Chains A and B, each alone.
Chain A
Amino acid sequence: MRIVLIVLALCATTLMARAVEPGEMLKDPALEARARAISRELRCLVCQNESIDDSNADLAHDLRVLLRQRLLAGDSDREAIDFIVRRYGDFVLLKPPVEPATYFLWFGPAALLALGAGGAWLYLRRRTTSADEPPLSPEETRRLEALLREQG
């Protein structure tokens, strides 16, 4: 039982372990925090669905180190990100920028929802108006009663 617990505890520690190695970290905690925040927004080009903060790929390591070097050299967050985007393109950003080419991506779902809601509204409105149709004429009432009598 104790062994099982120890094994589980060890598994938990490996889950907690991050890709960022102690040797990579900057001494200045504020600068390191900025680096961590930026690296969570940058895609690892090798794994492509992980941030460079999470990835253990060599290239992710190199990009983390490069990012920290840029910050140490006095780059703002924007400048450091642009430095990497210039080389790898917008694809490196996990959150795509809002620009004409990505308008469909950002606003498409909301536009489709609005379109569907509009259609539903039109449909429902037509249905309620159809409930207000004029009552049956005396002739129609007579026919209806005759039909019902036949059935009964």
Chain B
Amino acid sequence: MRRLLFIVPLLLFVALVGYFFVALEPGRNSTDLPSTMIGKPAPDFSLPGLPGSPNANGQFVKLGFSKQDMAGRVVVLNFFASWCVPCRVEHPVLMGLGPTANTPVVGIAYKDKPEDALAFLKEYGNPYLAIGVDLDGRTAIDFGLYGVPETYVIDKTGVIRLRHVGPLTAEAVAREILPLVAELSAR
């Protein structure tokens, strides 16, 4: 009994270390915040488009888009800005995502002048099926966005299923985005 009492502090210590190890998630970037919007319906929005923005096939698409336009489809929604350096880093990944995922990739230009966003897409190519301009960043706040780029996967019923913070990498696409899109599309 006495012996047992001496082991108690050690056991408590081990339990605490174990708890911290799990709770602090080694390998996780602590500045990447979890989203409270996962599993919730995407906020309503209706954004104006770019003046004559070409889509991936060089076709000129409808100006702007709203939440209703995404209904019934699994959509990858990407917030970007021409002034955002990591967005340039992830751009080639987005360019490849549309065809591989076989799913619409749509973009929202966050606090970007339409002409700047257009120049950006003309220079690097347009991966988006539709583009909206969120000039005052209010739609982004409704999504709980706290920096660009951020990428969301939204299911057929308009519920947010995933948020990726920071530039998309080929690895993140293969591991997170594509399997989820395939799973949601099959439903």
Measured CB to CB, the residues of A under 8 A from B are 45-46, 48, 58-59, 62-63, 66, 85-91
Contacts and interface: CB of A to CB of B under 8 A. Distances in A.
Contacts of B138: 62, 66
A6 B147 CA distance: 39
A59 B34 contact: no
Chief secondary structure at chain A's binding surface: helix
10 contacts: A45-B146, A45-B147, A48-B31, A58-B111, A59-B146, A86-B36, A87-B37, A87-B141, A87-B143, A89-B35
Interface residues of B, number: 16
Chief secondary structure at chain B's binding surface: loop
Interface of B: 31, 33-37, 111, 136-138, 141-144, 146-147
B137 A62 contact: yes
B35 to A, nearest CB: 7
A66 B111 contact: no
B67 to A, nearest CB: 16
Given A45-B33, A48-B31, A88 B146 contact: yes
B147 A46 contact: yes
Contacts of A90: 36
Nearest to B9: A119
B134 to A, nearest CB: 11
